[in-house]
A and B are shown apart, each in its own frame.
Chain A
Amino acid sequence: MIEIRFHGRGGQGAVTAVKILASAIHLEGKFTQAIPMYGTERRGAPVVAFCRIDDKRIRERDLVHEPDIVVVLDPLLNRSVDVTEGLKAGGLVIVNYPGNIKDTGLAGNFKVAAVDATKIALDVIGRPITNTAILGAFAKVTGLVKLESLAEAVNGELPSRIIASNVETMKRAYEATTAPANASGFRKTDVVKRASTQPLISYSRVVSDWRISHPVIDKNACVGCKRCWVYCPETAISLVDGKAEINYDYCKGCGICNEECLVGAIKMEREEV
């Protein structure tokens, strides 16, 4: 039996990813199980989901504690969550990371493969939803599932209008992913477990490390209508001298202000990794 743990943030589609993966694997005649870990998550909060693969019906009903493979949908998540916890020796990590594979911050007795899933998703889908991109990388690196099976499985899980773009995302990520590297000599990022990683009520909790992009306000264009202030789910926006101002400690980068601004005064900029 192969056990896989997915790490992501609420909104990146980790739960859908395990469901697509399980369906694709079953299309190839194997037994699978896709377990989402539901709690009181919200957009941006760290989430986990699990997948099991076997040749016979899977009877285990507990969660995956010692995965063979870990999949990470977010490049910064390993700063606040110990994503390789319990990973089997010689295991595999597939991580969404834009830079050099040595700098992912993951190090230990396992292999790491990386793909800039966020960029591919933004280019093709137009949103930083990285689940289908990471599945393309998964197919390439593990060989456990065919890209065609994943493309077929997407049909049952996503609305029809976004299927083509997601299949394209998978393909691009499949092509962009290189062979995994041994991570034993890499530099490990310290995991700082902060209160902000807990999926609790946002007010007064620092959520700045949840962002993959952040809003920037053009003070000249802002008309002070307070629309962004009304819609911000994190109460991170205030009005200073009649203009919107963002407290970046409490901004999780959801982009709702950008969507709601009627005069186009708010732009989203990709976060530096």
Chain B
Amino acid sequence: MKSEVMVGNKAVAYAVKLARANLIAAYPITPQTTIVEYLSEFVASGELPAEFVTVEGEITAQLVCLSGSIAGARAFTATSGEGLLYMSHALHHTARYWAPVVMAVANRSVRTMQPDHTDLLAQRETGWIQLYCENNQEVLDTGIMAYKIAEDDRVRLPVAFALDGYVLSFTAEPVSIPEQEKVDGFLKPFKSKYPVLPETWDAELEEYKKHWQQGKGINEPFTPFAGDENFSHLTMVSWGKGHDLQWRWRAHQEAMMRAKKVIKEVDEEYGRLFGRSYGGLLEEYRCEDAEAVIVVMGTLASTSRVAVDNLRKQGKRVGLVKLKSYRPFPSEEMQDIAKRVKAIGVIDRNISLGEGGIVYGSIRSALYDQVEKPKVLGYYAGLAGREVRVRDIENATEKTLKAIGSGVMDSTATWIGG
């Protein structure tokens, strides 16, 4: 297997190339820009046979990917921070059309150029699957897995995978590049199940007429393709007739929940074939016999492994939970962990102003039904790119450990590093 020292953005480009994406549309924004620069070089040199569409903004980038995807293309885009916010409304459309577009997000705080996760977490209601990475190898592997997850017939939802801007996007480290043949064996060519093409248009319109002739109204699912009730197949025809009502949200939610199983399966298969897997929805590190665990996403997981190792050397029973998938959220897995530990410290590299850490809130919500609940402490770290050092994580972990058996729970989160 070939190994090369590369930055995170190049790892993304390699993933897209190995996945044989054939439609790329993106608009430049730091720290994402070099992803599509590397890809444009692959396309220009003929290494990646793909349509490279230069667009005038992120909304168009997303809509090009959406329309290309429903016509049968394996589409890719990438963005960061403000670019992602500008793309936001198009993200909803990609999800509602069941278009398995894959997007890389080089996280960028929307207040500086430096990273935090608020940009992508602010898109958590768009119906996209969200996966977070801790090193460049995981970035490459996740990029390939993302297509397999997105295109699975039980899911058919777009996937965003995130790498912390700067910390991964511009940091170079050794990355193993899988062989193309092996990736081809893992990821079959994409075939849109119901491509929206001019030649199928009339047939669909006929189905739609029948729907009404049968006395069904706009509140009834329109499923023109028998045997596929899970997916209310949506085309321009039905959309144009105002067919976008509550049952579609329901179908979408059901697909999102099915994705939990698919993400785990894909991760396991990838592990079997390539020797690297990432725990599915989340990964536990030294959690066996742990009394306290910390929960983090992205590169904080990498730093946290060092912190956990240091504290373990001192005989402290602590572990790390790396949350890989935020959407869908691994509630069951967190409940299982909560049964085994006495305290959980959640370090958020994000904030929902007016409430608090987003992951903190999700975890506390997931644990509400537990009769025996561990203490859940919240921390903020690394917002707007503030550097997070190993000792910062050690302090937070030790504080979490000390909270065990200390009376009333305080839900006020602690700011690490001011």
Which residue numbers of A lie inside 8 Å of B, CB to CB? 18-19, 22-23, 26, 31-36, 38, 57-63, 65, 156
Contacts and interface: CB of A to CB of B under 8 A. Distances in A.
Contacts of A36: 170-171
Given A26-B3, A32-B5, A38-B166, A62 B388 contact: yes
Given A26-B174, A57-B174, 11 more contacts: A19-B5, A22-B5, A22-B173, A23-B5, A23-B172, A26-B5, A31-B173, A32-B5, A57-B135, A61-B167, A62-B390
B335 interface: no
A110 to B, nearest CB: 23
A59 B306 contact: yes
Contacts of B5: 19, 22-23, 26, 32, 34
Given A22-B5, A26-B3, A34-B5, A63 B387 contact: yes
B305 A35 contact: no
B174 A59 contact: no
Contacts of B135: 57, 59
A31 B390 contact: no
Contacts of A35: 170-171
23 contacts: A19-B5, A22-B172, A23-B172, A26-B3, A26-B4, A26-B5, A32-B5, A33-B171, A34-B172, A35-B171, A36-B170, A57-B135, A58-B173, A59-B302, A59-B303, A59-B306, A60-B303, A60-B390, A61-B167, A61-B302, A62-B387, A63-B387, A156-B4
B385 to A, nearest CB: 10
Contacts of A33: 171-173
A149 to B, nearest CB: 12
A61 B242 CA distance: 49
A32 B172 CA distance: 8
Contacts of A19: 5, 172
B62 interface: no
Interface in B142-196: 166-167, 170-174
Nearest to A34: B172
B174 A32 contact: yes
Main secondary structure of the interface of B (DSSP, over half): mixed
B29 to A, nearest CB: 14
Contacts of A38: 31, 166, 170
Nearest to B298: A61
B171 A34 contact: yes
Contact of B305 (A18, A59, A156): A59
Dominant secondary structure at the A interface: mixed
Nearest to B137: A57
A22 B4 CA distance: 10
B118 interface: no
A32 B175 CA distance: 11
Contacts of B306: 59-60
Nearest to B165: A38
A59 B303 CA distance: 6
Contacts of B389: 62, 65
A2 to B, nearest CB: 15
B47 to A, nearest CB: 15
Contacts of B173: 22, 31-34, 57-58
B279 to A, nearest CB: 16
A33 B305 CA distance: 17
B407 to A, nearest CB: 34
Contacts of B400: none
B33 to A, nearest CB: 12
B299 interface: yes
B340 to A, nearest CB: 24
A61 B303 contact: yes
B412 to A, nearest CB: 26
Please name the 10 residue pairs, one residue from A and one from B, whose CB atoms are nearest each other, closest first: A34-B172, A23-B5, A62-B389, A61-B303, A61-B299, A59-B302, A26-B5, A33-B173, A35-B171, A61-B302
B166 A61 contact: no
Nearest to B300: A61
B163 to A, nearest CB: 12
A156 B171 CA distance: 16
A269 to B, nearest CB: 36
A34 B173 CA distance: 6
A230 B389 CA distance: 45
Contact of B302 (A26, A31, A60, A156): A60
Interface in B371-418: 387-390
A63 B167 CA distance: 10
A26 to B, nearest CB: 5
A59 B306 CA distance: 7
